[in-house]
Structure 1
Amino acid sequence: MPTAMFSRVVSPLRRAAMRWAMRRNSTGLPDITTLRKVPEHLTFPLLRNGVDPVEQLAAQRAEDPVTMLGSVLGLEIWLVTGQELVKQVLADGASYSNDMRHLLGTRKRSDAETIGGLGMTDAPDHTRLRGLITPEFTMRRLRRLQESIGTIVEETLDAMEASGPVVDLVDQFGFEIPFRVICDLLGMPEDVREEFHKLGVARFDMSEGGAGSFGAATETRTFLIETVRRQRENPGEGLIGEIIRTHGHEYDDVELGGLADGVFLGGYETSAAMLSMGGYVLSRNADAYELLRSGTPEQVDEVVEELLRYLCPVQVAFPRFAREDHDLGGHRISKGSVVIVSLTGANRDPAHVPHPEQFDLRNAGTQHLAFGHGLHRCVGAELARMELRAALTGLARRFPDLVLETDDPADLGFRDLSVVYGIDRLPVRIGAGVPG
């Protein structure tokens, strides 16, 4: 959309945004939990047509990879869409902060309402917390999970086969596998499956603004803080118990609960979205699906990496807050401004990807940012890759004739406005035959 036209469209919306900015407490500090709706002019980076970003995202990147979108809660909002500038922002801990506590107003809040964890913490706290779990995600440590991941995949495929010939690939495959893997990793019970499935989706749903997401986050953290407290007395076999045994005296329950929250959420919701949407894309790309079934490990890796680039379920990274006035891509960013980086925009930057808008194995070898970049890059990236390889190759080998029951995106439950993009239902026929 040209700049002049874009300005005409958003000017009344900016006035609406300023009305939202007046919703503050008596101190005048912004409170994101009062925001019941994201102003429309801020939503296009989260919108998609099926699995593809809306055309406006590419048009905005082509016009200027750094764009001032408007103001919310009195804060200027900037969007970055070009890959090089996205990497620059994500790697620059000196110019940007991830700490969001200044957006919570001054109302006294419970432990579960506080913001923490790896994604919204700066050094030195971020360094301390990341140092706790990084050793658990090295390839050497992760190899011990290969057998259990393989068992979970096989049990999941067995259950699908038993309930077929038509199954919901979201509920019975995409969610099931990463949920069980992350519960096993952390040492958590699996009997909270349905509750956490709903809360995980709600955490990233922006249709109710910050209020809905914040409420779901509070419920999730409440459970995990209580899990840490229980394991203080009787540490389990998973990551939570191991940290309590080795470093528990150095960290309080809220810190460890926030850390577990980040690992849990990042370890299942994003992987669930990848597996579900990956099944959708692969059902429409027979050659790639066949490579998962019979290809070399290198060919399997190419399929997985291209799926990560193309789908990139985490649409935008955690927001960054400018520490000082500075220049970015020829624009002056004021202290306190919010800088949002579009990972989907960066992954489809034609300056770095030969066929950016297509799922195309000729893109193999190009760099993608599905796991972020810099200090806050996803610590579980290698675990996610391990899960994707095991689950998708298992699916292709067990069900080589998998087909969609419907090819109409309107029937498949693609989410409308979510930071982590996904699909809510995906009926497929797992045996030989034709749909219907």
Structure 2
Amino acid sequence: MVNPPTDDARPRSFPMPRSCPMRPPDQYAELRAGAPLAKITLPSGRTAWLITRYEHVRRFLANGNVTTNRLHPNFPFFLPLSRKLREDVNASLMSLDPPEHTALSRMVIPEFTHKRTQELRPRVQKIVDDHITVMLDGDRPADLVEALCRPVASQVICELIGVPYDDRELFQSASKVMASRNSSWDERWESGAKLRGYLSDFVATKAKEAEESGAAPGDHLIGRVIAKNQEKRVLQEEDIAALCLSLLSAGHETTANVISLGTVLLLENPEQLATIRADPGRTPGAVEEILRHTSITDPSGLRVAQADIEVGDMVVKKGDAVVVSTAAANWDDSVFAQPEKLDFDRDARHQLAFGHGIHRCVAQNLARVELEIVFNTLFARIPGLRLAAPVEELSFKDGALLYGIHTLPVTW
């Protein structure tokens, strides 16, 4: 067992540029073939260790001797953040360690079980159909992001959580600023503060109404979490608001981006698209492959080691910052042969697009349902769908923490 490279080793700048917009950075393949750990420098000036191999990524994310606490002095922030902003972002589910994470996740996991999300299928199908109908009645070319990807993802998560879809402009604009690597810390703080204030007021109002009326707060996630908490009193109202912030800001942006990128992949790989058109029962497997191929959350794991941790034949020392790339892991050719190939015959169920370990995306089952319904419905109702611009001319989100496409012109 050896230590990571010495401090005089030249770190690589991170994030790394993509040579092709539909593939992770080429440097990931080089790094996977080299040492298990690579030193990187973040835009904040902080240094960290980067993990890129599938086996090591999976093991590290499942390791209990790491923390996601944003208040840790060595946390690998991408931007220099004030203490106030650190405290604000540390209130989310993804920033908590056990036992706080355990208590909060138990409140919300029942909302996203396989059974629960399957029950939502008819409503998701109606939302998708309605937006496709509006798009078909509109002008051509259409921007698929604005016509379908973003509104479907937003409406589904809004209805599940219980916030009014009419207020979507507030959280969509706030989430866009918070997800951009180009936003300054004060811009992120301002956008986050607006969204936190909105959700705090909303949760407080629902809780007060429930206490005064003695009735259930509503048939939605916020209502059920409030009801559970009134029985057990394990959370403060600000904890519930922070939970909703995590789900709302991530829930619509992530799914919307996979829909847009997945649509491009399908249109650029007509032989694969033909397989799910001929047999929609194969779409769940196709969704796993699309999730693997797109891997929009990169990096998906920012951690600090709380003990010495073995990574291959090296050791991350206690207190070291670590960046984990699930995008690099999902393109590890020792696990996924010819990773650049979109292959619906591949068993991609063990892909890491949703992360791994206790911080694995809690809404993964809902995302799968949405993606399956969107891809089946979109190409069934618009069989002649095609891109209205070459892929190389599309506007990709190179400066965002969640990769995707800003606009996607399509016609039929």
Q: Give the structure 2 partner of residue 102 of structure 1.
A: 72
Deviations 1:16-35 (A, max 9, x none): xxxxxxxxxxxxxxxxxxxx
Query: How many residues get paired?
Result: 392
Q: Give the structure 1 partner of residue 363 of structure 2.
A: 380
CA–CA distance in structure 2, aligned partners of residues 415 and 400 of structure 1: 27
CA–CA distance in structure 1, aligned partners of residues 23 and 86 of structure 2: 38
Amino acid at match of 1:317: S
Deviations 1:123-178 (A, max 9, x none): 00000011001111112222321111111011011111111332101111110101
Matched, 1:41 2:25: no
Matched, 1:242 2:217: no
Q: Give the structure 1 partner of residue 120 of structure 2.
A: 145
Q: Give the structure 1 partner of residue 239 of structure 2.
A: 255
Aligned-pair CA distance for 1:74 = 7.9
Q: Please identify, of 304-313 and 163-172, the stretch whose mean Cα deviation from structure 2 is larger.
A: 163-172
Amino acid at match of 1:83: Y
Amino acid at match of 2:371: L
Aligned-pair CA distance for 1:280 = 1.2
CA–CA distance in structure 1, aligned partners of residues 84 and 106 of structure 2: 28
Which of the numbers 270, 291, 294 marks the counterpart of 1:308?
A: 291
Q: Give the structure 1 partner of residue 61 of structure 2.
A: 90
Q: Give the structure 2 partner of residue 414 of structure 1.
A: 396
Amino acid at match of 2:126: T
CA–CA distance in structure 1, aligned partners of residues 331 and 49 of structure 2: 19
CA contact (8 A) 1:310 1:348 kept: yes
Is the partner of 2:205 in helix, strand or coil?
helix
What is the correspondence of 1:63-74 to structure 2 with a 5 Å cutoff?
A: 63-70=34-41
What is the correspondence of 1:266-415 to structure 2 with a 5 Å cutoff?
A: 266-297=250-281, 299-365=282-348, 367-410=350-393, 412-415=394-397
What is the correspondence of 1:153-192 to structure 2 with a 5 Å cutoff?
A: 153-192=128-167
Deviations 1:196-253 (A, max 9, x none): 2222222221124655545433332222222211211233331001111221443112
Q: Give the structure 2 partner of residue 121 of structure 1.
A: 96
Q: TM-score, normalised by structure 1?
A: 0.83
Aligned-pair CA distance for 1:365 = 4.2
CA–CA distance in structure 2, aligned partners of residues 85 and 116 of structure 1: 28
Judged with a 3 Å threshold, the aligned counterparts in structure 2 of structure 1 residues 107 and 203 are, in CA distance, closer, same or farther, namely closer
Aligned-pair CA distance for 1:72 = 7.6
Is the partner of 1:309 in helix, strand or coil?
helix
Judged with a 3 Å threshold, the aligned counterparts in structure 2 of structure 1 residues 288 and 191 are, in CA distance, closer, same or farther, namely same
Deviations 1:284-337 (A, max 9, x none): 12223233333141x212221110110011111231111123432233323222
CA contact (8 A) 2:66 2:303 kept: yes
Aligned-pair CA distance for 1:77 = 0.3
Deviations 1:109-135 (A, max 9, x none): 489825222211000000001100111
Aligned-pair CA distance for 1:101 = 1.9
CA–CA distance in structure 2, aligned partners of residues 211 and 64 of structure 1: 37
Is the partner of 1:339 in helix, strand or coil?
strand
CA contact (8 A) 1:120 1:318 kept: no
CA–CA distance in structure 2, aligned partners of residues 118 and 350 of structure 1: 32
- What's the C-alpha RMSD, in Å, of the aligned pairs? 2.6
CA contact (8 A) 1:206 1:213 kept: no
Is the partner of 1:250 in helix, strand or coil?
coil
CA–CA distance in structure 1, aligned partners of residues 198 and 229 of structure 2: 21
CA–CA distance in structure 2, aligned partners of residues 310 and 148 of structure 1: 28
User: Could you list the runs of 5+ residues in structure 2 that have no partner in the other structure?
Assistant: 1-6, 210-216
CA contact (8 A) 2:285 2:349 kept: no
Q: Give the structure 2 partner of residue 26 of structure 1.
A: none
CA contact (8 A) 1:169 1:427 kept: yes
CA–CA distance in structure 2, aligned partners of residues 215 and 256 of structure 1: 20
Is the partner of 2:95 in helix, strand or coil?
coil
Deviations 1:58-91 (A, max 9, x none): 1122122321214787854010000000001100
Q: Give the structure 2 partner of residue 424 of structure 1.
A: 406
CA–CA distance in structure 1, aligned partners of residues 84 and 334 of structure 2: 46
Amino acid at match of 1:58: A
Amino acid at match of 1:67: A
Q: Please identify, of 146-155 and 218-227, the stretch whose mean Cα deviation from structure 2 is larger.
A: 218-227
Amino acid at match of 1:311: T
CA–CA distance in structure 1, aligned partners of residues 185 and 72 of structure 2: 14
Amino acid at match of 1:63: G
CA contact (8 A) 1:317 1:343 kept: yes
Aligned-pair CA distance for 1:392 = 0.9
Aligned-pair CA distance for 1:344 = 0.6
CA–CA distance in structure 2, aligned partners of residues 224 and 381 of structure 1: 23
Paired-residue identity, %: 29
CA–CA distance in structure 1, aligned partners of residues 342 and 185 of structure 2: 33
Is the partner of 2:396 in helix, strand or coil?
coil
Aligned-pair CA distance for 1:401 = 0.5
CA contact (8 A) 2:71 2:87 kept: no
